[in-house]
Structure 1
């Protein structure tokens, strides 16, 4: 990395694997010296995350001769056609069962969260590898059943926690491990802002469809990173404004072995998105969507660390899908951090208290 002053800125598997009466590549295996055949991918869910990120990633992998999108399914025919217009080798399917009968090696599950477990487990039962967009499931228990199904089937299951692929995330882990800012004391997190994700229906805001609000949406990313950096936490407090619906704001306090982390997630509050790690000798400041830079403050001087092998958000998305098709564990980490994050979210929901909203509740404390 370099610093500048003042910035804050399949190969065909010879062991033939039968699935549904056909032979299939095992994307978990690759033996050096033999050519890798294109991994055949099926996509379930053609919404915003597929249109924005998975389609460009699939195009990049096709161009590199690594994978090919074979078939897609979404209940919305227009959404399916939009994806197939960009990846014309793929065919549309009338149902998820139809998708499973295509000649595939891996299913990419990008459907609404309440469909993740059933679709993933069905694909694993067919002998397919699965890459599932976050949140892996509607609860930690449901996610554990998915992981158990993958282990029983002997197939890879990866989760779309793309931030693990950011060089900035890996740099923060290294700085904390080496004690560059001294003894870590606190972590302050704010993430969110006025909601602008291009949803196609009100179902996005349904607890039955999504499992929750901003905590279920942003929480898997935020908690997964914190747990990856600091270990598993103790929940001190969770407050939100759900009022019987889905929360637009959540405030969570976690304790990581004496390090207090205060996390604020919002879908309506416009303020800078930042992670601030305060140590005895300085602090690290990171904007969560910056893949290749962070700020380091030591002795009152702030320097922007720009990582030479950076890449943008789409590069990270492509890298995680490449890892999924190769069967390589993500950044040397298995499924446990993702499960721990979901377990923490479950605990937050179980113990949550109402957030003080004096503008609504007359006489409430500020």
Structure 2
């Protein structure tokens, strides 16, 4: 684990479930982090974080208190607040780790990126699947031709939504721009675009009737280094899906599963038999971190060394553009069980 020797004063904005159950257990592994402030408009959330982790941090509801006392900040608030809070922090000279999605809209994300460049601030986004170690394996299998010609790429993310919630932010249009496609779809789309290539010629359907969607399906053309192949993305808050990136080739199928960030599962046919092999790096790292901890390490190194992070905000905008375009062309998913005009049974 990297210890730069530089103590970094951290302010946390938003002390809800993602901060307490996700970020704090990971970032507190780093000896050079000193949590100075816990900021939340609901005092009880900040107090709970303070007590749960035994933090000697000041509780506040105003990020102005961070001025000259904080080097970097975590922004873990509802998505519609990402841009204004992140930009205000950067204007105060503070580097920012912002939860995903970067912003409500791609144009807003671009303004954040422009502000970071103007102020020479680090702006990183919490897209943790970029830090799955099987990304390198997956890319090598594709570029090395081990799968043969690529026929199709599939991405699935879905399970009944049982995440601990402290507010209605997931479902409230005042706090978020969308549902499952915006919330978890951004992880998958970012990973596909960052790892493999751009998406075009979109078709998208979901089950929204004015509120946020719980299920969505995106089909598109994915541009790889050797041409264009079909992409299909499925996202759900109601059903358990395969939760993987699946690349189908003429010689083999490769799966990078979300619950195993270290390996790729390679399926091949030999004669009349099918085999599955688990592909891993030849040498494992001595001090392997979880993907979220690795993202924190990457961010902290960027802050200390003034170098771009692997999840720099300027590289996250295309996924938001795809989501915006998909929402614009949205069609209704067939739901025969809620159709009107049917005879009563």
TM-score, structure 1 normalization: 0.84
2:238 aligned residue (268, 271, 277): 268
1:91 aligns with: 58
2:114 aligns with: 148
1:348 aligns with: 326
1:103 aligned residue (51, 54, 69): 69
d(CA) in 2 for partners of 1:267, 1:203: 15
Unmatched runs of 5 consecutive residues or more in structure 1: 1-10, 12-34
2:259 aligns with: 289
Q: How does 1:6-45 map to 2 (within 5 A)?
A: 36-45=5-14
d(CA) in 2 for partners of 1:66, 1:196: 33
d(CA) in 2 for partners of 1:199, 1:318: 22
d(CA) in 2 for partners of 1:147, 1:311: 35
Count of aligned pairs = 326
d(CA) in 1 for partners of 2:54, 2:177: 31
TM-score, structure 2 normalization: 0.89
Q: How does 1:191-206 map to 2 (within 5 A)?
A: 191-206=157-172
- 8 Å contact from structure 1 (residues 40, 104) kept in 2: yes
- 8 Å contact from structure 1 (residues 46, 74) kept in 2: yes
d(CA) in 1 for partners of 2:296, 2:73: 11
Q: Relative to structure 2, which stretch is displaced further, 297-306 or 193-202?
A: 297-306
2:337 aligns with: 359
1:59 aligns with: 28
Query: How far apart are residue 201 of structure 1 and its match?
Result: 1.9
Query: How far apart are residue 106 of structure 1 and its match?
Result: 0.6
Query: Counterpart of 2:335 in 1: which secondary structure?
Result: coil
- 8 Å contact from structure 1 (residues 57, 314) kept in 2: no
Query: How far apart are residue 298 of structure 1 and its match?
Result: 2.6
1:338 aligns with: 316
d(CA) in 2 for partners of 1:152, 1:337: 17
Q: Relative to structure 2, which stretch is displaced further, 303-312 or 42-51?
A: 303-312
Gap change, CA 1:235 and 1:219, over 3 Å in 2: farther
- 8 Å contact from structure 2 (residues 113, 314) kept in 1: no
Unmatched runs of 5 consecutive residues or more in structure 2: none
d(CA) in 1 for partners of 2:146, 2:313: 28
Query: How far apart are residue 349 of structure 1 and its match?
Result: 0.8
Q: Runs of 4 or more off by more than 4 Å in structure 1?
A: 310-314
1:78 aligns with: 44
Query: How far apart are residue 77 of structure 1 and its match?
Result: 1.4
- 8 Å contact from structure 1 (residues 167, 310) kept in 2: no
- 8 Å contact from structure 1 (residues 295, 303) kept in 2: yes
1:232 aligns with: 198
Gap change, CA 1:54 and 1:249, over 3 Å in 2: same
Q: How does 1:175-214 map to 2 (within 5 A)?
A: 175-214=141-180
Gap change, CA 1:243 and 1:190, over 3 Å in 2: same
Q: Relative to structure 2, which stretch is displaced further, 289-298 or 262-271?
A: 289-298
d(CA) in 1 for partners of 2:254, 2:127: 22
d(CA) in 2 for partners of 1:337, 1:157: 11
CA RMSD, aligned part only? 2.2
Query: Counterpart of 1:182 in 2: which secondary structure?
Result: coil
